Structure 1
Amino acid sequence: MTRSIRTRRIVLATGACTAVAALLGTAAAAQATSSRPLAAPDIPVAAVKAHLDQLQSIADANGGNRAHGQPGYKASVDYIKGKLDAAGFTTKLQEFDHNGAKGYNIIADWPGGAEDKTVMAGSHLDSVDAGPGINDDGSGSAGILEVALAVSREHLKPAKHLRFAWWGDEEDGMIGSQHYVDSLGADKAKLDSYLNFDMIGSPNPGYFVYEYDTRLTKVFKDWFATKKIPTERETEGDGRSDHAPFKNAGVPVGGLFSGADYIKTDAQAKEWGGTAGKAFDACYHQSCDTSKNIDDTALHNHSNAIANALWQLSS
């Protein structure tokens, strides 16, 4: 009798294991065939601000700025590159010369993904000579750095290749990003998209979405809509930030921007979606563009929107 019960238990257990295995196999197959991308993690704003504090300290120790050709810029490069190297990215410094000084772009590739469909995110790392440039554009640089570190923490395995870039000498006219695009040659056809983030923590912020490419615009606008955050058409124009060289080369571009300078006229107010006399960032290109010149909510929302876009577009 004992022997019979034991045999029956073994048969039942084997059947149960087979059923569980079948269910797990079905679930795995469903996940593999699902077109729904994994959700991006929350990007901790405290971590983004910690990077901004480091960039502020670098400026404080190097004459008050992080401008092209100045020691504060190279120290900023070393800080960003060190974080990426430790997180498992393949990084390289692309050198160029402008106005008698050496400049650097940081290019960081996350292993894996189809390189003929590369999704790229970038921000300029340099400041103007007048100040530390913490909103312009330490905010974009810190935001995409923390998103890149989240890619590493999450062990993301994107279908498309992911690349991040920090541009040198944007303030003299997109010198670093233009140098990179010029160096691509035929490889520019491998870029699925380029996303630009220039000033994402402006005080009194707007939520401006680049509207050059319908697919990329939709990714950002849909995310903001789920958060019930109204958006506006971007205001930077083709010649004011690092998306311009990519757009001119035929690469689909998108991006975010939280506003710069003052709204001086009614015409600007109509175009920018604000009120004349209202300041988006009164410290734009000034010495007061410090780590205190940041809106935490805007910085957090924009960083999460960046993460969502990269998770979506690279899946």
Structure 2
Amino acid sequence: MPNRPTLATAAALAAATALVLPTAAVAESSTGTEGLRAGTLAVQDHLQELQNIAESHGGNRASGTPGYQASLDYIKGQLDQAGFTTTVQEFPSLGGTGKNLVAETPGGDANQVVMFGAHLDSVGDGPGINDNGTGSAAILQAALDYAAGGETPTNKVRFAFWGAEEEGLVGSTHYVESLTEAERGKIAAYLNFDMVGSPNAGYFTYDGDDSDGVGAGPGPEGSAQIEQLLNDSLSAAGAPAEGTDFDGRSDYGPFIEVGIPAGGTFTGAEQSKTPEQAEKWGGQAGEAFDPCYHQSCDTLDNVDTQALERNFAAITNAVKAYAAQFPQP
């Protein structure tokens, strides 16, 4: 997650339709305890692999480096083996070539696409295991688990692993700008997961309905339903969420700029946890949610496994729900 000025969100609310889901079904859509634990352990295995890659490539996985390429190759291999249709999209980045990896289900209505995204690159100063190995590994395993279930989705589900986020959302911006207006209109929702295992974790969902009344205002129509679905999942896991503003600091930014409904979860970066948050969620008040943010100590030891499991459950729930449910206008 880069330090980035707020993006304007006043673009026209385009042709994307809202997803209206029955939130009462959230608990039933989750995996069982055994399956959730197995999935979380698999996420940790992916994180170990990303750390091994960084250690073998100069200590980082920054966009345009061999460490990034090895990370992309690893994730692409997993998705190819599971039967996803994968595409590597190249784009110019700081005088070099950046890469996005996009994977989608073979089945599902191509006119109703639900996207899940996370940036794959680290900063140059560290391996980026919480930021953002956690988001990448979690949506990867959610995709693999969904494929293993053998269901044919109603809607096409697309997973994106963005390059050059740390350089200013370059990969996701290129992706959205490369779409035609008709292609953008087929994306019914975009869910973003950037840092979902912070060691002094908070539990935040993007404030789609602007109920907090802070900052940039509500997301495009349909964002409130995404927020509610994720809030219900986290509450069911024992972690009632707070809202966080659409401040443009992650890869949802280019999507909401063109009117695509968006949401996601976040466990906090360099900001300090308040006493009220520590009372609600545990952890240390007055300390950063992630004291290793953008540093070399952002390793596997910097990940809170309970926060990772709770967020993975929310992601898994959302993949199952949005794959099955037709968007409603």
Asked whether the two chains share a fold, i.e. TM above 0.5, the reply is yes
**Is the partner of 2:100 in helix, strand or coil?**
strand
Equivalent in the alignment of 1:228? 238
Amino acid at match of 1:230: P
Q: Is 1:208 paired with 2:208? A: no
Amino acid at match of 2:227: T
- Greater RCO (Cα-Cα under 8 Å, separation 6 or more): 2
What is the percentage of aligned positions where both structures have the same residue?
50
TM-score by length of 2: 0.80
Amino acid at match of 1:290: T
Equivalent in the alignment of 1:277? 286
Q: Give 1:226 shift.
A: 2.3
**Higher-helix-fraction structure:** 1
Equivalent in the alignment of 1:115? 110
* Aligned residue among 82, 86, 91 for 1:91: 86
The alignment of Structure 1 onto Structure 2 pairs a total of residues equal to 277
Q: Is 1:75 paired with 2:84? A: no
Specify every segment of 5 or more residues in structure 1 that has no aligned partner in the other structure, as ranges. Answer: 1-34
Q: Give 1:309 shift.
A: 0.9
- Looking at structure 1, the residues matched to 91 and 237 of structure 2 have their Cα atoms a distance apart, in angstroms, of 41
- Looking at structure 2, the residues matched to 227 and 79 of structure 1 have their Cα atoms a distance apart, in angstroms, of 30
Equivalent in the alignment of 2:16? none
- Looking at structure 2, the residues matched to 264 and 258 of structure 1 have their Cα atoms a distance apart, in angstroms, of 11
Equivalent in the alignment of 2:157? 162
Equivalent in the alignment of 2:29? 39
Q: Is 1:49 paired with 2:53? A: no
- Looking at structure 1, the residues matched to 188 and 59 of structure 2 have their Cα atoms a distance apart, in angstroms, of 38
- Looking at structure 1, the residues matched to 274 and 234 of structure 2 have their Cα atoms a distance apart, in angstroms, of 28
Equivalent in the alignment of 1:138? 133
* Aligned residue among 155, 175, 187 for 1:180: 175
Equivalent in the alignment of 1:291? 300
- Looking at structure 1, the residues matched to 238 and 250 of structure 2 have their Cα atoms a distance apart, in angstroms, of 27
Q: Give 1:39 shift.
A: 2.6
Specify every segment of 5 or more residues in structure 2 that has no aligned partner in the other structure, as ranges. Answer: 1-23, 209-222, 325-329
- Looking at structure 1, the residues matched to 198 and 273 of structure 2 have their Cα atoms a distance apart, in angstroms, of 17
Q: Give 1:126 shift.
A: 0.2
User: Which runs of at least 4 in structure 1 moved beyond 6 Å after TM superposition?
Assistant: 35-38, 273-276
Q: Give 1:45 shift.
A: 1.2
Equivalent in the alignment of 1:14? none
Cα deviation per residue 1:58-83 (whole Å; 9 max; x = unaligned)? Answer: 00000000001111000100000000
* Aligned residue among 192, 198, 204 for 1:196: 192
- Looking at structure 2, the residues matched to 167 and 72 of structure 1 have their Cα atoms a distance apart, in angstroms, of 14
- Looking at structure 1, the residues matched to 96 and 198 of structure 2 have their Cα atoms a distance apart, in angstroms, of 30
- Looking at structure 2, the residues matched to 231 and 264 of structure 1 have their Cα atoms a distance apart, in angstroms, of 14
- Looking at structure 1, the residues matched to 251 and 172 of structure 2 have their Cα atoms a distance apart, in angstroms, of 6
Query: In the alignment, is the contact (CA less than 8 A) between 2:201 and 2:283 conserved in 1?
Result: no
Q: Give 1:265 shift.
A: 9.0
Q: Give 1:228 shift.
A: 3.1
TM-score by length of 1: 0.83
Q: Give 1:221 shift.
A: 1.1
In the superposition, relative to structure 1, how do residues 264 and 308 fare at CA in structure 2: closer, same or farther (>3 Å)? closer
Q: Give 1:274 shift.
A: 9.6
- Looking at structure 1, the residues matched to 284 and 70 of structure 2 have their Cα atoms a distance apart, in angstroms, of 39
**Is the partner of 2:320 in helix, strand or coil?**
helix
**Is the partner of 1:161 in helix, strand or coil?**
strand
Larger Rg: 1 or 2?
A: 1
In the superposition, relative to structure 1, how do residues 116 and 193 fare at CA in structure 2: closer, same or farther (>3 Å)? same
